[in-house]
Amino acid sequence: MTATPWFVPLLFLLVLSSTGETIGRPFYPLPSKLDLKDKQPLQMSRPFNIAHRGSNGELPEETAAAYMRAIEEGADFIETDILASKDGKLVCFHDVTLDDTTDVGERKEFEGRERTYEVQGENVTGFFVVDFTLAELKSLRVKQRYKFRDQQYNGKFSIITFEEFIAIALDADRVVGIYPEIKNPILINQHVKWENGKKFEDKFVETLLKYGYKGAYKSKDWLKQPAFVQSFAPTSLIYISNFTDLPKVLLIDDITIPTQDTNQSYWEITSDSYLAFIKDYVVGIGPWKDTVVPPENNCLTTPSDLVAKAHAHDLQHWHLRYIHTLTGTRTSSYT
C-alpha cells in the first residue's frame, strides 16, 4: 500500500503537517497546483466503487482525510453532499443541521443559534448550516456520526468546501471522479441569497464549470474529469440541464418519502409515464436499496420491478443508496 501525506500504511495513523495543522485551512491551493499528466484512466470494465461521504467507516464523513483515504483504497468516485453557508459558499456536509456530526453544541460562542425551519414538510430544530458563515463552519470540528465507529479522529478535521473537495479528486495520481449531490435546494434557496438573482443550482454548476467538469457520459471530456450530479429534487436536475451536459442521476428515497421539491410520491416518480419523462434529463436513478429488494423481518424478499422498469426506459440503475462496506465505499451498477 502506498502511503499518502496523511496516512501511515497498515497502521492507518494520521500524520500531522509540518506545522502541526490538520484543520481549518485549504488542503490544496485552488485550483490545484499539481500538474499530473498521463494519469491512469478511470476503469470502465466493472461497476464503479463510489466512496459515499469518503471512507466514513474509518474517518469522520465528508472530511478531506476521509476522501483522501477513499482514494488510497481505490475508489473510482468520491461522493459528497453540497450545501451552502450563510455567506453563499458551497460546502460538503450531509445534514442540513450541524448537530449530529460536529461539536457545535459544545461551543459557547454559538449558544442561542438554534432555529426551527420547515424541511420537506416537517419542522426541524437545530443549528442549521445556512445560518453559519464559512469562517464559522470552518471553526467547527467534525466527529463520527455513529458511536460504533472509531472515535479517535473526532475533532481533528473541519468542514471542507466544494472547491477543496474537487481539488482532492484532481490531485489524485489517477483519474478519480466526483459524485456531488444538490442537497435540499428548496431550503438553501429560501435562506441563502446570491447576487444577480442567482440560485443555489447556478452556483453549483458554476463551480463545476470553473474546474473543467463537462461532457456527456463517456465522452472524451467526461472521461478526462468524470462527474455525476445527483439530487432528490427533480426540478433542480431539469434546471441545470440548461447549463451542463454532465450526466445526472435522480435519487429515489424510501416509499414513504416524497421528492424534496415537487412533493411527488415514490409511486409517481417510479411510474412508467414519469420515467419516460425524466429520461430526457437523467442517465439513471439512484434508488434506496429497500425499494429494489424489500426487507421483511430482517430478511430479503422478492426484488421489486424498479430496476427492470428503469432499464425498459433506457435508464441505468446507479448506486443503491446506503449499501456500505466497513469503509463507507459502495458499489454502483452502471449497466
Residue 266 falls in which region: left (phi positive, over 0), alpha (psi -120 to 50) or beta: alpha
**Residue 191 is a catalytic residue:** no
Cβ contact 69:59 at 8 Å: yes
Cβ contact 227:246 at 8 Å: yes
70 Cβ contact partners less than 8 Å away, ≥ 6 residues apart: 51, 54, 55, 78, 327, 328, 329
User: Could you say which of 94, 311, 317, 324 is catalytic?
Assistant: 94
Three-class DSSP category at 308: helix
Strands in 272-331 per DSSP E: 284-287, 295-296, 299-300, 316-317, 329-331
Three-class DSSP category at 174: strand
**Residue 52 is a catalytic residue:** yes
Q: Where are the alpha helices (DSSP H) in the chain?
A: 64-72, 134-139, 162-170, 185-191, 200-210, 220-224, 234-240, 266-269, 272-278, 306-312
The β-bridge relationship of strands 248-252 and 284-287 is parallel
User: Could you say which of 52, 191, 313, 319 is catalytic?
Assistant: 52
Dist. CA 146–CA 67, nearest whole Å:
18
Catalytic residue IDs: 52, 94
